[in-house]
Amino acid sequence: MIFERNRKGDTPISIAMEKSKGNFVTVFEKYQKEYDKSKSAHDDLMLLLEQEEAKAEKEKQKRKDKKYQQKLKKLAERDQVSVQETQQRLNEMKQKKIEEELKAQKELDEKEEREERQRLE
């Protein structure tokens, strides 16, 4: 109660400092160090919030992975192959797509470079 703020946002310490009451400031600071637990409560709440967010993110990732595994299983059953083979095919397709994108970007860069040289000539 003693460390709360008034409607203007002033604390007893800031009021004492404003009124230049040095002895009151030292007394308030002493009691604040001993009895004000708001910082530790804040830190505890922030830690709890961070833990809850991490847990929620972990659960979200777990659901996402489970859904992905279910899709892999369905694809494998449809194609009558193992899940590992399906995973390997998907990885190969992803790698091929990445290579194609890199090749396309390289060709685009070369084309822009040729056009730039032609403009300079």
pLDDT in tens, 14-72: 777 777 766 777 777 777 777 766 667 778 889 999 999 999 999 999 999 999 999 99
Question: Kindly report the CA angle at 84 between 93 and 60, in degrees rounded to 5?
Answer: 80
pLDDT category at 7 given cuts 50, 70, 90 is confident
Q: What does the alpha-carbon distance between residue 7 and residue 106 come to, in Å, rounded to a whole number? A: 64
Residue pair 83/72 in contact (Cβ under 8 Å)? The answer is yes
pLDDT category at 9 given cuts 50, 70, 90 is confident
Q: How high does pLDDT run on average in the chain?
A: 85
Q: Does pLDDT of 76 surpass 60? A: yes
Q: What does the alpha-carbon distance between residue 121 and residue 108 come to, in Å, rounded to a whole number? A: 20
Q: What stretch of H or E contains 11?
A: none
Whole-structure pTM value: 0.48
**Mapped to the 3 state alphabet, what secondary structure does 24-89 carry?**
HHHHHHHHHHHHCCHHHHHHHHHHHHHHHHHHHHHHHHHHHHHHHHHHHHHHHHHHCCCHHHHHHH
What pLDDT shows up at residue 120?
A: 85
Within 10 A of 32 (CB to CB), how many other CB atoms are there?
16
